[in-house]
Amino acid sequence: MNEIAKRIVTDEQGKPLEVVIAWDVYQDLAERMGWDLEDEEGEDVHEALNAWRSGDRSAFVPLEDLK
Domain assignment present for residue 63? The answer is: no
Domain assignment present for residue 28? The answer is: yes
Domain assignment present for residue 67? The answer is: no
Domain assignment present for residue 32? The answer is: yes
Domain assignment present for residue 65? The answer is: no
Our count of domains for the chain comes to 1
- Per-residue model confidence (pLDDT) at position 1: 53
| DSSP character at residue 59 | T
For the CA atoms of 61, 64, 44, 59, the dihedral, rounded to the nearest 10 degrees, stands at 0
Rounded to two decimals, the pTM is 0.53
Domain assignment present for residue 36? The answer is: yes
Instruction: Give the pLDDT confidence of 31-46 residue by residue, as tens digits.
Output: 888 787 777 777 887 8
Task: Kindly report the three-state secondary structure assignment for every residue of 22-42.
Answer: CHHHHHHHHHHHCCCCCHHHH
| SS percent in the chain: helix, strand, coil, step 5 | 45, 15, 35
Asked if 8 and 14 touch (Cβ cutoff 8 Å), the reply is no
Range of the domain at 30: 6-57
Domain assignment present for residue 15? The answer is: yes
